[in-house]
Amino acid sequence: MMNVSHPQNGFTNTLIELAPGIDLYPQFFELQAQKTLVDLVRDIVRQAPLFQPTMPKTGKAFSVKMSNCGSLGWVADKTGYRYQANHPTTAKPWPPIPQMLDDVWTKLTSNEAGKAQACLINYYDPSAKMGLHQDRDEQNLQAPVVSISLGDDCRFRIGGLTRSGPTQSLTLHSGDVLVLGGENRLAFHGVERIYPGTSTLLSAPGRINLTLRRVTG
């Protein structure tokens, strides 16, 4: 692990390089900004309710509930994992990505990445988790994934480019931002457990994760 300051944009947020291309920005968002983000998420979820994704082959339900904002949203059902412009149950277009999230993307990615097109909203109740996986449903694997944690802490596991390779685990806290890019854009990662009651940001125990992505080239 290495502590470095950001080489390009000149902003002062501390970053910890967990591996080449995998940068953790602890407490990127202060409490007030976290509250604003939660309000924005509530507003989005009112328009685009959380849905229950299922595993493509087995039809088994994820323990995580999801929604999206952006021109494209990630969905999972019997027919597969994909991005689509409309909510799977209401069929409405996803609400737009709020300016505040666009700004985070712009701050933490290079110009070549283009604008964020999708923001997946994951809601973890205290018993939810997410198995080790790669984010590889995007046509564009050049642009990084920018991941924001809100609410209760979680134990996050991150490895390399093979499922069986070595992994490290770390605690993600409310306000932390993790960027997966460069040579480790396809690193395996997952959420092993939520630590309920470690944050009072949300009105009930649980965790929200927001992942911003560029989908097309």
List residues binding ligand SIN (CB under 6 A): 122, 130, 147, 156, 189, 191, 209, 211
152 binds Fe ion (CB under 5 A): no
For residue 37, the partner it binds in Fe ion, ligand SIN, none, with Cβ less than 5 to 8 A by kind, is none
Pair type for strands 130-133 and 189-195 = antiparallel
The closest of 164, 175, 180 to 200, measured between CA atoms, is 175
Q: What is the DSSP-derived secondary structure letter of residue 134?
A: -
DSSP string, 148-162: EEEESEEEEEE--SS
Where would I find the H helices in 49-148? Answer: 99-108
**Nearest to Fe ion of 6, 82 (CB atom):** 82
Quote the tokens at residue 145: 């994934």
**Nearest to ligand SIN of 7, 132 (CB atom):** 132
135 binds Fe ion (CB under 5 A): yes
**Nearest to Fe ion of 16, 132 (CB atom):** 132
23 binds Fe ion (CB under 5 A): no
Where would I find the H helices in the chain? Answer: 31-47, 99-108
**Nearest to ligand SIN of 9, 138 (CB atom):** 138
Residue 192 CA to residue 156 CA, distance in Å, equals 6
The closest of 155, 157, 158 to 198, measured between CA atoms, is 155
Tell me if residue 99 falls in helix, strand or coil. helix
For residue 117, the partner it binds in Fe ion, ligand SIN, none, with Cβ less than 5 to 8 A by kind, is none
138 binds Fe ion (CB under 5 A): no
Residue whose beta carbon is closest to ligand SIN: 209
For residue 191, the partner it binds in ligand SIN, Fe ion, none, with Cβ less than 5 to 8 A by kind, is ligand SIN
176 binds Fe ion (CB under 5 A): no
* Footprint of Fe ion (CB under 5 A): 135
